[in-house]
């Protein structure tokens, strides 16, 4: 008698792949429009992002925060929640990390973990606001998390240009103490040990979701809250917990940006990392392993875009366009299934 799940569902992998291919195809229309050869442009793009160890390191650095925000969004999706607030949660997490990083003098072995923990707590608490409002009052988390994004943005803006201002004429804090920083793995690239943390986080997400009672309950709530309630599962409590954990992951993205990349809080440092997390989660089919792979893909696109920009007349914003197209195609799964005449979900 078999207990393992049946053969690997190759069909499930096909959809994200098709979405990416379609996005690249439509992207090549834009490349042609500016008068360049798509193969040449994509060639430079991928060579620059994956063509040498150094390039791969840069790609991985770019991918790291996306791994965290992707995990955040994916985790929430698994519990049936739509966390668009990863952006705000990462800012709050980042701020907590920078606060610990500049305010204390501690040996590295305590300082860095403490800062990381602070980031997780910051993100978790921020996400819990929306989680609480959903669990207790039934207010949909989408609008609330969007609002909280902006509130976090302005709040940290104020903190960093006001009480925590670094004193210079740029809107940023002082640098964190070196004991709170992630170490560089492959200088001169900006890749830090945070990437190991990201992989570990993915493993933790996997274990929580599939190997613990909590994860069983969270996923049940996401798949069928009526049956979950019937089975004695507390839907409201699990909603809150899921948002908190999701926020913690997003907070870690902030940790990487502060403790790894910039070593200080620069106002508005995130260029849509939270929103890209949605794309990464969707592309990765809300699975931790998928999220890691999707994050690397997006990281590669970003890492290669500058070189493509320099060597051709294709503006680097093409990457943003392609990323948006990927989201379109993944979201329109129905369309792709029709196209490939695949079996449709109920």
Partner 1 sequence: MGDILAMLFNTTVFAAAFRMATPLIFAALGGILSERSGVVNIALEGMMLTGSFTAMFVTYHTGMPWVGVLGAMAAGGLIGLLLAIFCVRYRANQVVTGTAINIFAGGLTVFLLRHFFQVAGTSPAVTVIPDITLPVLSKIPWLDRILGRQNPLVYLALVAVFVVHVVIYKTPWGLRLRAVGEHPQAADTVGINVFRMRYTAVILSGALAGLGGTYLSIAHLSRFSEGMTAGRGFIALAAVIFGKWTPLGALGACLFFGYGDALQMRLQDIGIPTQFMNMLPYVLTMVALAGFIGRAVGPKAAGQPYIKG
Partner 2 sequence: MAKVLEMRGITKQFPRVLANDSVDFDLEYGEIHALVGENGSGKSTLMSILYGLYQKDAGEIIVRGQPVEISEPRQAIDLRIGMVFQHFMLIEPLTVAENIVLGSEVRKGPFLDYKKMVAEGRRLSEEYGLEIDPEAKIADLSVGLQQRVEILKALYRGAEILVLDEPTAVLTPQEVDDLIEVLRNLKAKGTSIVFITHKIKEVLAVSDRVSVLRRGRKIGTKLTAETNEQELAEMMVGRVVLLQVEKGPAHPGREVLRLENVSVKDQFGHVKVNNVNLSVRSGEVLGIAGVEGNGQSELVEAIAGLRRVSGGRIYLSGQDITGWSPLRIRRAGFGFVPEDRHRRGLVLDYSVADNLILGIHGSKPFVNKAGLRSQGQIDEYAERLIAEYDVRPPVAGQAVRNLSGGNQQKVVVAREFDQNPDLLICSQPTRGVDVGAIEFIHRQVIAQRDRGAAVLLVSAELDEVLSLSDRVAVMYNGEIVSVMPIGEATEHKLGFLMLGGRPEEYQAGEVSGSAIQS
Site string for partner 2, 169-208 (x = CB under 8 A): --------------------------------------x-
Question: Does residue 342 touch partner 1 according to CB under 8 A?
Answer: no
Residue choice 54, 136, 140, 211 for contact with partner 2 (CB under 8 A) = 211
- Which does residue 204 bind out of partner 2, partner 1, none, counting CB within 5 to 8 angstroms by kind? none
Question: Does residue 179 touch partner 1 according to CB under 8 A?
Answer: no
Nearest distance in Å: CB 318, partner 1:
6
Nearest distance in Å: CB 268, partner 2:
40
Nearest distance in Å: CB 133, partner 1:
6
Nearer to partner 2, 223 or 289 (CB): 223
Half-sphere exposure of 84 (CA within 13 A, CB side): 11
Question: Does residue 24 touch partner 1 according to CB under 8 A?
Answer: no
Nearer to partner 1, 39 or 143 (CB): 143
Gyration radius (Cα) of the chain, Å? 21
Residue given tokens 């690397």 in the structure block: 296
Residue given tokens 């949909």 in the structure block: 140
* Residue 90 CB neighbours (<10 A): 36
Question: Does residue 212 touch partner 2 according to CB under 8 A?
Answer: yes
Nearer to partner 1, 252 or 273 (CB): 273
Task: Report whether 63 contacts 291 (CB < 8 A).
Answer: no
* Residue 168 CB neighbours (<10 A): 9
Site string for partner 1, 31-50 (x = CB under 8 A): ---x----------------
Nearest distance in Å: CB 78, partner 2:
11
Of the ranges 14-22, 170-178, 193-201, 271-279, which one interacts with partner 1 (CB under 8 A)? 271-279
Question: Does residue 162 touch partner 1 according to CB under 8 A?
Answer: yes
Asked whether the CA dihedral 158, 162, 168, 173 is positive or negative, the reply is negative
CA distance 320 to 276: 10
CA distance 296 to 62: 8
Question: Does residue 230 touch partner 2 according to CB under 8 A?
Answer: yes
CA-to-CA dists, residue 6 to 99, 129, 163, 219, angstroms: 49, 40, 57, 20
* Residue 311 CB neighbours (<10 A): 16
Nearer to partner 1, 114 or 147 (CB): 147
Question: Does residue 340 touch partner 1 according to CB under 8 A?
Answer: no
Residue 337, exposed/middle/buried by CB under 10 A (0-12, 13-18, 19+)?
middle
Of the ranges 28-36, 106-114, 213-221, 295-303, which one interacts with partner 2 (CB under 8 A)? 213-221
- Which does residue 275 bind out of partner 1, partner 2, none, counting CB within 5 to 8 angstroms by kind? partner 1
CA-to-CA dists, residue 274 to 125, 247, 257, 278, angstroms: 16, 11, 12, 7
The SS3 assignment for 192 reads strand
Residue ranges in contact with partner 2 by CB under 8 A: 1-6, 207, 211-213, 216-217, 219-220, 223-224, 226-234, 346
């Amino acid at each position: 008698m078999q207990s393992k799940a049946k053969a690997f569902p190759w069909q499930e992998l096909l959809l994200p792949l098709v979405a990416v291919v379609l996005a690249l195809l439509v992207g090549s229309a834009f490349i042609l429009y500016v008068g360049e050869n798509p193969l040449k442009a994509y060639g430079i793009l991928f060579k620059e992002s994956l063509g040498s160890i150094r390039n791969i390191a840069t790609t991985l650095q770019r991918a790291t925060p996306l791994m965290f925000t992707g995990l955040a969004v994916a985790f929430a999706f698994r519990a049936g929640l739509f966390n668009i607030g990863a952006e705000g949660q990462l800012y709050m997490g980042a701020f907590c990390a920078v606060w610990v990083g500049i305010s204390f003098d501690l040996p590295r072995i305590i300082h860095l973990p403490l800062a990381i923990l602070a980031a997780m707590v910051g993100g978790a608490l921020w996400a819990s606001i929306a989680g609480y409002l959903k669990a207790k009052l039934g207010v949909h988390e989408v609008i609330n998390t969007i609002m909280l994004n902006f509130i976090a943005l302005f709040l940290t803006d104020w903190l960093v240009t006001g009480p925590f201002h670094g004193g210079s004429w740029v809107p940023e804090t002082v640098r964190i103490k070196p004991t709170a920083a992630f170490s560089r793995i492959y200088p001169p690239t900006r890749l830090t040990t945070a990437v190991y943390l990201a992989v570990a986080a993915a493993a933790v997400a996997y274990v929580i979701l599939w190997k613990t009672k909590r994860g069983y309950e969270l996923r049940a709530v996401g798949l069928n809250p009526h049956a979950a309630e019937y089975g004695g599962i507390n839907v409201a409590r699990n909603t809150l917990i899921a948002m908190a954990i999701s926020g913690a992951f997003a907070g870690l993205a902030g940790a990487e940006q502060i403790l790894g990349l910039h070593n200080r809080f620069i106002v508005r440092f995130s260029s849509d990392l939270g929103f890209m997390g949605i794309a990464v989660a969707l592309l990765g089919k809300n699975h931790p392993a998928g999220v890691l792979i999707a994050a690397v893909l997006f990281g590669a696109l970003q890492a290669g875009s500058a070189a493509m920009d320099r060597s051709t007349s294709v503006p680097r914003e093409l990457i943003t366009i392609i990323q948006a197209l990927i989201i379109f195609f993944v979201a329109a799964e129905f369309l792709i299934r029709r196209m490939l005449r695949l079996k449709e979900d109920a």
